[in-house]
Structure 1
Amino acid sequence: MLNWFRTLSLRNKFVLTILICLVLPSIVSMNVSNFFTRDAVRTQVTDSSRESMRIVNQIVSGQMKNMLYIMNFMQFDEDIQDPILSLSHVDDSTSIGDIFVSKNTIIKRLGTVMNTLGNMYVTLLLPNGQYVATYTTMNFDPRTFMKNSWFPEVEGISGYNVKWIGAEPNYTNGSNQPYVLSAAKKLSLNGLTKGYVIVGLEMTALQQLFNQYENNESMMIIDGRGRILVDRDNSMIGKLFPYYDQLPAENGSSFVKVDGEDYILLSSQVTPEWKLVNMTPYKAAAQQIESFRKTDFGIQMVFLILFAVVLLYVVGTLTKPIAKLVQTVVRIESGQLSERSNISGADEVGRLGYVFDRMIDRIELTLIENKREQELKRKAELAMLQAQINPHFLFNVLNSIRLKIMMKGDEENAELISSLSALLRMTINRNNAYISLHEEIGINEHYVRLLNSRHGDRVVLRVSAASDTLLVQIPRFLLQPLIENAYIHGLKSQSGEITIASRIEEDGRLQVLIKDSGVGMTEERLMELLEHLENATVAQVTEKSSSPTLSGIGINNVFERLRLIYGHRFDYEITSSPGNGTAIALRFPQQPEKEV
C-alpha cells in the first residue's frame, strides 16, 4: 500500500491526502453528531454558547492585548525613548519649541500603531508634571489622574505588570460614550520610574459586539469584585453582577434561574482581573440548535460535493507551475544559467517562481561583479607595487634637509620639515592599527602646524586631554579627518580655534571631543548631516571620494570604521548652532570588540 502511494504523482497524492484528511473526517463527524445530538441537546446548547463565548473572548482579549501592546510600545520603542527622556528633563531653560517637538514626535510615533488598533486614548505622565495625550485636553488636565484612588496601586506595581483600572468616566471629547475602559502601567528603567502610561479604550466597539447576541445571549465584562465594567446598557456599568457568586470555573458552566427561566452561565478570563460573562436562555438556544442540526447536514453535503469539483481545478493550478519550476531547476543544474521559469502570479507558487528567477539573476550578477572585483584588485596591487618607495630613504633625506636648514639658522622651516617628516612617517607606517591617544594628538599638532604654514598662523589647536586617557589605544588617523573637516567646513578655512578634549565616561568608555569656533550649522543642515552619516556606508563614501589629501577616507569612513570596530558600544553626538561652532563627541570602549 505504501509503495503504491509513493508511485502516485504529486497531484494524485495531494487529492488523495485531502480526501482522507478532510472529507472523510467531515462525513464521520456529521454522522456521529447526528446520532448524539438527539440525546445531548443540553450539551450542545452549552457548547454553542461556549463557542459564541470563545469568539467574543478572542475579540475582547484582542482589545486587551492591543491596550497592552500600546503600553509595551511606549516602554520599549527606541524612537520614543529619546523624546520621553527630553521631556523628563524639562526645566525653566527648555524652550516651548523643544517641548512641542518632543511631544509631537511621541504622538506621531504612536499614530503609526494606533491607527489600526481601534479607538484608544493614550496618556503619558512624567514625574516632573509633563504629559502627552492623544486626545484634546482643552477641558481635562491629564495630571488629575495622579489624584485618583487607583494611582497609588500603579506606583506599587513591579516589573512589567499592568493595573487594570476598569470603567472610568469619559475624559475625552472624542465621542458621546460616557465611559472608557482604562488600564495603566508604570514605565521604569533600572529601577527608576520614567513615567506612567494610561490607555483608555472606547467601549462602543465592545457594546456593538455584545449587541449582536442581544436576542439570545447577554454578555458583559466584570472585575474581580463583581462590578460590571462593560455592558450594552450603560446604566448597568458600575453595578454589581447579581450572580457573581454562582460563576463557574474557567471553561465550566452553571445554570441559574432568572424570573423562573433557566440560563446557562459561562465565564472566561480576559485579563488577570477581568472576566467575560455570558448568560444564554436555555430554551431559546435549544430550539435553535434543533433547527440548525437539520440544515447543517444538507449544507455540509452541498459543500463537500462542491469541494470535490473545485479540488481538481485547484490542484491542477498548483502542480503545473511546480512541475515547470522543477524542470527549470534541472536545466540550471546542468549549467544553463540563462534559463528562467517565467512563473508569475499573486499566490505562493507565483511568488516562488518570481523570487527564484530574481535569485538566478543576482547569482549571474554576482559572478560578473566578482570577476570585475578580482580584475580591479589585481590592478590595485600592481599600482601599489609600482608606487612603493623606501620610506627610510625618504625620512633620511628629509632629516638631512632639516639639519642643513638648522645649520643656516632657519629653525622655523626646520621645525616644519620635522612636522612633515613625522606626519609622513605616521602615514606610511601601517604596521600598527592602533596608537595611543597622545601620539594621535601629537600627529594632529604637526598637521595644524603644516596647515598654518600654508595659510598663515590662523588656526589655534587647544588640547584638553585627561591624563588617564593619554595611553588609551585608539585607531590610527581617527582625529585628523575630523580636524580637517572642522577647518574646511567649520572655520571655512579662516582663523579660529579647534579643541581636542578627552575623558573617561562613567561606563568606562573613552569620550573624545573635537570642537571648532566656526560658523556652525542650522538645525535643518544638522539633521541632513546626521541622516547622511547614518545612511552612508564605507563602500559608498570610498567610491565617491577621490581626494588625494590625508583625509581622503572622509569623516563618513571614520564613523563607519568605528562602528565596525566597536559595534553597538560606539555612539556619537554632533551639536551645532549658527555662530557657535560645531562639536563632535565620539564615545567608544577602551578596547575594540573586533578587528576591522
Structure 2
Amino acid sequence: MPGWLRRLSLRNKLVLTILVCLVLPSVVSMNVSSLFTRDAVRTQVTDSSRESMRIVSQIVNGQIKNMIYVMNFIQFDEELQPSIRELGRANETTDKGDVLQYKQTIAKRMSTVIDSFGNLSVTVLLPNKEYVASYTTFAFNPTDFMRKSWFSAVEQVSGYNVLWIGAEPNYSESTNQPYLLSAAKPLRKNDITYGYVIVGLELRLLQDLFNQYQNNESMVIIDEQGRILVDKDSTTIGTKFPYYDQLPREDGSSFVKVAGEDYILLSSHVTPEWKLVNMSSYKTAAQKIESFRKTDFLIQLFFLVLFAVTLLYMVRTLTKPIARLVQTVVRIESGQLGERSNINGVDEVGRLGYVFDRMIDRIELMIEENRREQELKRMAELAMLQAQINPHFLFNVLNSIRLKIMMKGDSENAELISSLSSLLRMTINRNNEYIPLHEEIEIIEHYVRLLNSRHGDRVNLRISAASDTLLIEIPRFLLQPLIENAYLHGLKSKPGEITIASRICEDGRLQLEVRDSGVGMTTERLEELRTHLVTRPTKHHHASRSPSLSGIGLQNVLERLRIIYGHRFDYEIASGPDQGTQIVLRFPQQTGKEG
C-alpha cells in the first residue's frame, strides 16, 4: 500500500473507496456501451416508438370497438328489432302516428347507448327509405346514403361483418369538422336484409391524440389503397400517404430516409382494411436516449457524493451515542448507580438509551422500596414486642370494671369503657389486615365517642355509607387517621361536624370520603400540602411523625394505599378558607398488591 494511502484517515479511505468502486465503473461502462450497443440503442428507439404506437392503438381500437358495439346493439337488441321491422314495412297506407311512434321508440332506445359515447352519429336506414338518425337532418337527408358509391358494397358484406367506409364528408350538424370516420353494416334475418346501420365517428378525439406527438412523431390512419383517413391536419385527409410503398407488409417496423435522415415506420391494423401508421425521427429519439444516459450518470454521481457525506455523518451520529452508552454501563458496573446515559432520539439507539436509563431508575426505586419495606418491617416487629401484654387480660379487666360501674347504675361510663374495650381489641388484634367497611365505621364511632367523653359533646359524626359498600373489605384502621386529622387540624379541637361517605364509582372502584366543617386551608397551604404528599416518606418522616392512636399519619395512609393498590389508587384533597376540608380516596374493591 502506498505511503500516502496509509496516511489517509479512515473517513477519507471510505470516500476514496466509494469513488473508485462506483464512479469509475460507471464512466467506463458508459464509454464502452456507446461503442458496442448501437444496435441495442436502435432497438431501444424502436421499442420506444412501438410503445407510443401501442398506447395510441389502444385508444383507436377503443373507438373502433365503440362503433362495432353500436352496430351490433342495433342489430341484436330485442327491444329495437320489432320497431325496426314494423317501420321497414310501413307504406303510404300506414298510419302516420304509428310511424312516428316506431321512430320515437327506436330513437329513445338508441340514445341509451349513443349518449354514453358522445362522439358518434348513428343512422338506421330502411329499404322503404324510412330512417332514424341520432343527429338533426335539416341539412342532410339520410336517404342520400343510398346514392353513395360505397352503398352497393354494404349489401355484399357477408355474415355479421362490417364495411369500413373511411373518411366521409360530415353530414352531422353537431360538429364543425369536415369529415367523419364511417362504417356501415346490413341488418339481416334469415339472409334477408331489412335495413342498414351507418355509424360516423368524430375525428376530434383522434386528432387531439395525434397532436400530442407532433414534435418528432406523426401518426395517421390509412386504408388499403394508402389514402389517409385520419390525420392531425385535416387538409391531408383523402390524399395518399407518401411512404405507403415502404411500409412493411405485416404489422411491424421499417426504416426510410427522408432528406437524408433516418425515420422509423411502424404500422398496426386497427381493422382488416385500416392501418395505424407511426413515423418518427430516429435521430431525435436516439438523442433523447443518449441525453437520458448522460443525465442518469450525473444523477448517479450526485447521489454518490451525497451518499458518501451522509454515510460519514450517520456513522459519526450512530457510533457516538453507542460509545457513550458503553461508558455509562462500565461506570454502573463499578457501582455508580447514579450514572445515566441521557441519550434521546426516536431511533433504535435513542430508544435503547431511554429504556436503559428507565431500567436503572426502576432498579434504584426497587432498592429504595426494599429498604423502606425492611425498615417498616423492623418497626412493626418493634411495635409487636412493645405489645406483649396479654390482650385477654386487658379485655377481662375492662369488662369487670364495666360490670361494676353498671351495677352502680352508671350506664354512661360503662358505655365509654365498652367503647374503649372495643377500640383496644381492634387496635391490638393484628391477625386481619382487611376488615369490612361497616366494622371500620364501628371503630370510628367508638373513637369519636371517646373523643366527646374527653372534651365534651363537641364532634357530631355523620355516616352516609351506601348499602352496597358496607361489606367491602378495606385495610384496617384506614379512616381513623383521617378522622383524627379532621378533628385536630380541621376543627382545631373545637365543636363541629365530620362526615364519612362511601359509594361505588362508575369504574367499579370504592370511593371513601371524609370531610369536616372546620376552618379549611388557603390555596397556598393546600398546594403546599399536595406537594408534600406527593413526596415518598423517608426515615426522617417516620422519626418525626406526630403520635396518634394508630401511629400512622395522613401521608402514611396514602403511602400505605399506594403500596397495596399501585396505580389503581388515587385521591383528591379539596379545601377553602372557612369551607372545611374534603379528602376523597378511590381504590379497587379487591385487595392485594399488584403483581
**Normalising TM by the smaller chain, what interval?**
0.3 to 0.5
Which one has a bigger Cα radius of gyration? 2
Q: Give the TM-score normalised by the residue count of structure 1.
A: 0.43
- TM-score w.r.t. length of structure 2: 0.43
